[in-house]
Amino acid sequence: MNLSIVEPRLDGQQNPHSRMTEGLEYHRLTEQICGIVERPVPRWWLPAFLTSLAIASGALFAATYLISTGVGVWGENQPVGWAFDITNFVFWVGIGHAGTLISAILFLLRQKWRTSINRFAEAMTLFAVACAGVYPLIHIGRVWMSWFLAPVPNANAIWPNFRSPLLWDVFAVSTYATVSLLFWYVGMIPDLASLRDRAVTRPRQVIYGILALGWRGSGRHWHHYEIAYLLLAGLATPLVVSVHTIVSFDFATSVIPGWHTTIFPPYFVAGAIFSGFAMVITLMIPARELYGLKDLVTDRHLDKMAKVLLATSLMVGYAYSVELFTAWYSANLYERFAFQNRLFGPLAWGYAIMVLCNVAIPQLLWLKRVRESVWVLFVISVLVNVGMWFERFVIIVSSLERDFLPSSWGRFIPTWVDLLQMLGVFGLFFSLMLLFLRFLPMVALSEVKAILPHPSHFKAGHTANESVQAVSRAKEVQAS
């Protein structure tokens, strides 16, 4: 059969309020977003991808060297047993949190502006968690024993310790990775179907066809789909809060001064959202520029994200000051010293960078002019990323360098393997992001279409009730 069930599309200038323009508006959006994936790659893409991939190969090399030689190739040694590995792990997990916040929490709060950035932010979450996952895996040194983390008795018939925060962390991060993947994929199914229906080459038809699982926009499907999406958002919200809480337990349940504090869970969650929003802004500004998405990711979006950045910066700043106050008020010698050491010790420069980037500079966002100048915002967001990296570094390393006994103090100096590993994982992150932009719809099409203003009398909210009443009236008439 080769019949068309729709009239040919009318193009040209129409009355902006006619129904035809509405259809065109949907179609224009599909063209805009699917077009990114269908058109030949822009000229900058391949060089950018190859560069990222080259950098990522550094991570592979550093990890191979580490595994084949031993963890001694890193700068870590007693007393600093955790340094770049866990710093980067916490950094990347934290980045991921903004994606879940945007996609789940803002969804539950009915913040409709989220729809044009949520897919992008979710992809960022997923790749950030993948990057985070690299570190715990390799930092155990003997990676072939990583299965000792799994809830099965190990080679000596010993079970893992379920009472240990480190094992909680394994469960938290792996659950987070799985749920983020599910949320991202489920949200993408209708858009994958759009790509399938527009595909012209056989491989595209087959691959997008399989990924779309036969989605055809049926009202009966949307019915369950919307509930599933809502439930996933409801589940992801406590999950995202629990993940960084549990990550902070890795530190808070220890006895190291500077780690052993009850403020850590909320402090870490606020920091995670702060750093994640900074990363979304860092990535979104160039992406919307390069792909011409300024009508979807508007200046208003950036303004709102800048405000979230400012709010979380204040929370983080508050946590920094409470931490200092508690150290002083506790009257505990070691606790006080830990913070003296953080402020004035060998890593004082790191602490200074942290306060400058995370608390001082973001105050510029109070000014409307700063929030409106895109590239200033971009620079601030990059600095926040730097500051948040240093936050984790300072917390982890400065606390370990000088704890109770001065005779067992030490220093941490990163080696080239540490630095290459860190750089390489950034390469991995950007490679994955570029692949995502190339092959998957970067804006949640079906969600954006659903919130387009409808020109006619279609009033959401009333219609549902009216239809139910009308149908039940008709049933009564038939029955009588």
Partner 1 sequence: MNTDPLPQPELLGVIASFEGPESLLEATMQARMAGYERLDAFSPFPIHGISEALGLRRSPLPWMVLGGGLVGIGLALGGMLYINVFEYPIVVGGKPHGALEPLLPITFEVSLLFAALTAVLGMFYLNGMPLLHHPLFRLEGFARTTDDGFFLTIDASDPRFEFKETMGFLESLGGKSVMRVEA
26 binds partner 1 (CB under 8 A): yes
Figure out which of the listed residues 200, 255, 464, 479 binds partner 1, where binding follows CB under 8 A: 464
SS3 state at 238: helix
Q: Are 363 and 369 in contact (CB under 8 A)?
A: no
Smallest separation (angstroms) from partner 1 to the CB of 237: 10
Kindly determine how many residues on this chain lie close enough to bind partner 1 according to the rule CB under 8 A: 89
Within 139-168, the residues that bind partner 1 by CB under 8 A are 151, 153, 158-159, 161-165, 167-168
Smallest separation (angstroms) from partner 1 to the CB of 3: 6
Nearer to partner 1, 99 or 424 (CB): 99
Smallest separation (angstroms) from partner 1 to the CB of 203: 15
Nearer to partner 1, 2 or 407 (CB): 2
Residues forming beta bridges with residue 80, ordered by sequence position? 77
Nearer to partner 1, 135 or 184 (CB): 184
Smallest separation (angstroms) from partner 1 to the CB of 474: 4
Nearer to partner 1, 218 or 363 (CB): 218
Nearer to partner 1, 157 or 405 (CB): 157
For 242, half-sphere exposure in the C-beta direction (CA atoms, 13 angstrom radius) is 17
Nearer to partner 1, 295 or 466 (CB): 466
Q: Are 276 and 132 in contact (CB under 8 A)?
A: no
Figure out which of the listed residues 32, 61, 73, 221 binds partner 1, where binding follows CB under 8 A: 221
Smallest separation (angstroms) from partner 1 to the CB of 263: 18
Figure out which of the listed residues 126, 138, 246, 420 binds partner 1, where binding follows CB under 8 A: 246
Nearest to 390 by CA among 356, 441, 428, 414: 356
Smallest separation (angstroms) from partner 1 to the CB of 469: 9
Residue type, 167: L
Helix (H) or strand (E) holding 286: helix 264-290
Nearest to 119 by CA among 68, 198, 71, 189: 189
Structure tokens at 149: 């983390």
266-269's contacts with Cβ under 8 Å and 24+ in sequence apart are: 266/319, 267/316, 267/319, 267/323, 268/90, 268/94, 268/244, 269/97, 269/241, 269/244, 269/245
Stretch that binds partner 1, among 23-31, 116-124, 137-145, 270-278 (CB under 8 A): 23-31
Smallest separation (angstroms) from partner 1 to the CB of 352: 35
Structure tokens at 251: 């530190």
Q: Are 64 and 221 in contact (CB under 8 A)?
A: no
SS3 state at 13: coil
Figure out which of the listed residues 65, 148, 171, 404 binds partner 1, where binding follows CB under 8 A: 171
Within 1-20, the residues that bind partner 1 by CB under 8 A are 1-7, 19-20
Smallest separation (angstroms) from partner 1 to the CB of 341: 28
256 binds partner 1 (CB under 8 A): no
Smallest separation (angstroms) from partner 1 to the CB of 234: 9
Stretch that binds partner 1, among 262-270, 280-288, 400-408, 448-456 (CB under 8 A): 448-456
For 375, half-sphere exposure in the C-beta direction (CA atoms, 13 angstrom radius) is 1
In angstroms, the CA 96 to CA 433 distance is 13
Q: Are 399 and 259 in contact (CB under 8 A)?
A: yes
In angstroms, the CA 24 to CA 57 distance is 45
Residue 60 Cα distances to 21, 23, 63, 422, 446, angstroms = 51, 48, 5, 11, 38
Figure out which of the listed residues 82, 215, 267, 268 binds partner 1, where binding follows CB under 8 A: 215
Smallest separation (angstroms) from partner 1 to the CB of 27: 4
Asked whether the CA dihedral 419, 358, 301, 212 is positive or negative, the reply is positive
Smallest separation (angstroms) from partner 1 to the CB of 31: 9
Within 183-202, the residues that bind partner 1 by CB under 8 A are 183, 185-186, 190, 193-194, 196-198
213 binds partner 1 (CB under 8 A): yes
302 binds partner 1 (CB under 8 A): no
Smallest separation (angstroms) from partner 1 to the CB of 162: 5
Nearer to partner 1, 19 or 368 (CB): 19
DSSP secondary structure letter of residue 398: I
Q: Tell me the angle at which helices 84-100 and 118-139 cross, rounded to the nearest 10 degrees.
A: 160
Smallest separation (angstroms) from partner 1 to the CB of 19: 5
Nearer to partner 1, 46 or 228 (CB): 228
Stretch that binds partner 1, among 72-80, 272-280, 373-381, 440-448 (CB under 8 A): 440-448
Figure out which of the listed residues 108, 145, 333, 468 binds partner 1, where binding follows CB under 8 A: 468
Q: What are phi and psi of 196, to 5 degrees?
A: -60, -45
Figure out which of the listed residues 236, 283, 310, 383 binds partner 1, where binding follows CB under 8 A: 236
Nearer to partner 1, 40 or 219 (CB): 219
For 395, half-sphere exposure in the C-beta direction (CA atoms, 13 angstrom radius) is 27
Residues forming beta bridges with residue 77, ordered by sequence position? 80
Structure tokens at 199: 């595909």
SS3 state at 454: coil
Nearer to partner 1, 63 or 170 (CB): 170
